[in-house]
């Protein structure tokens, strides 16, 4: 007769899975590879992830332009001041001034005029904790939508028009690696990691990142050229990323699970070695 073991608390397993995937476990020997990255300003954003924020009539932060206001200040990611002023000449269009030099003032800044679904690129100064600074390009896209039942809804999307790129070289393999500043604040850090698949790895060498195999989460185990790797750290200015080898591996269908232990709701400790060779049912 086959023995069945019912695990009632899947959360425990999920917690273990998270710990396995999130805790970098460098391989013995401390191998690491620091990959220099360059900012590629030709990268055109395809995902409209961030937006200029406004304060609405209730005093709350909102990414839609407050209705009935023709001239207001908004804030772009990284604390960049932006003035939005409705045009008098066109029905649905705005004059936009971005604080590109970071002095907190927009009066002297270039005036861009955008109609619905049009965009422009502004170079904005970014500063990092180590004293470095440089201009980075951002695409500002104006979106206006309405229908019979809803009032005009206006959003100013703010997207990084750049990504950090370098070459990962391991064993006999070499591939383009890219890191996205997902939230457009000029910092490459955990906020971008938390936003989704922000790492690109051009495994097939076509110069593009495409598909689940090439778009990666920063915390996941990366299998590459016979090695299993984790991202150890990234410089906030996108100048380098450090990879480490790990003893962790990605479980495969038909393959063995990584060794683990967990405590049942009765307080007993179960070791994966006890479960080997038996049929188990996960009940959740």
Binding letters toward Ca ion, positions 175-194, x by CB under 5 A: ------x-x-x-x----x--
Q: Is 206 in the site for Ca ion (CB under 5 A)?
A: yes
Q: Which of 105, 130, 213, 283 binds Ca ion (CB under 5 A)?
A: 105
Nearest distance in Å: CB 121, Ca ion: 17
Query: Which residues 6+ apart lie within 8 Å of 50 measured at CB?
Result: 76, 77, 157, 158, 159, 182, 183, 184, 185
| Cα gap 182→46, rounded to integer Å | 11
Of the ranges 39-47, 48-56, 94-102, 232-240, which one interacts with Ca ion (CB under 5 A)? 94-102
Check residue 223 for interaction with Ca ion (CB under 5 A): no
Query: DSSP secondary-structure letter at 188?
Result: -
Question: How many chain residues touch Ca ion (CB under 5 A)?
Answer: 13
Write the DSSP string, 46-100.
-S--EE-BEE-TTS-EESBPPTT-SEEEEEETTTEEEEEEE-SSSSSEEEEEE-T
Report d(CA 50, CA 43) in Å as an integer. Answer: 16
Does residue 154 interact with Ca ion by CB under 5 A? no
What's the rounded Cα separation, in Å, for the pair 138 and 124? 7
Residue 99 binds to Ca ion (criterion: CB under 5 A): yes
Which of 41, 62, 75, 101 lies at the binding interface for Ca ion (CB under 5 A)? 101
Please identify, among the stretches 131-139, 206-214, 236-244, 249-257, the one whose residues bind Ca ion according to the rule CB under 5 A: 206-214
Beta carbon of residue 141, minimum distance to Ca ion (angstroms, whole number): 18
The closest alpha carbon to 91, from 65, 116, 66, belongs to: 116
Q: Give the binding site for Ca ion (CB under 5 A).
A: 99, 101, 103, 105, 181, 183, 185, 187, 192, 202, 204, 206, 208
């Amino acid at each position: 007769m086959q023995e069945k073991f019912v695990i009632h608390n899947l959360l425990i397993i999920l917690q273990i899975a998270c710990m396995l995937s999130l805790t970098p476990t460098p391989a013995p020997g401390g191998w690491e590879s620091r990959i220099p990255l360059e900012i590629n300003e030709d990268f055109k954003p395809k995902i409209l992830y961030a937006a200029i924020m406004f304060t609405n009539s209730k005093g709350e932060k909102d990414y839609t332009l407050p209705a009935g206001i023709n001239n207001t200040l908004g804030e772009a990611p990284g604390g960049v001041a932006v003035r939005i002023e409705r045009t008098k000449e066109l029905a649905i269009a705005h004059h936009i001034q971005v604080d590109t030099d970071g002095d907190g003032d927009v009066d002297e800044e270039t005036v861009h005029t955008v109609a619905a679904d049009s965009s422009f690129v502004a170079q904005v100064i970014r500063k990092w904790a180590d004293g470095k600074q440089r201009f980075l390009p951002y695409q500002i896209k104006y979106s206006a939508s309405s229908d019979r039942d809803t009032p005009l809804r206006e959003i100013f999307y703010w997207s990084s028009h750049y990504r950090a790129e370098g070459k990962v070289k391991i064993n006999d393999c070499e591939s383009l690696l890219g890191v996205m500043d997902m939230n457009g604040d000029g910092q490459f850090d955990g906020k971008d990691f938390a936003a989704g698949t922000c790492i690109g790895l051009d495994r097939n060498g076509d110069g593009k990142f495409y598909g689940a195999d090439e778009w990666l989460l920063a915390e996941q185990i990366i299998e590459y050229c016979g090695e299993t790797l984790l991202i150890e750290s990234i410089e906030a200015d996108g100048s380098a990323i450090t990879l480490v080898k790990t003893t962790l591996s990605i479980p495969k269908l038909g393959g063995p699970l990584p060794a683990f232990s967990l405590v049942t709701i009765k307080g007993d400790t179960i070791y994966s070695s006890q479960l080997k060779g038996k049929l188990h049912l996960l009940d959740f």
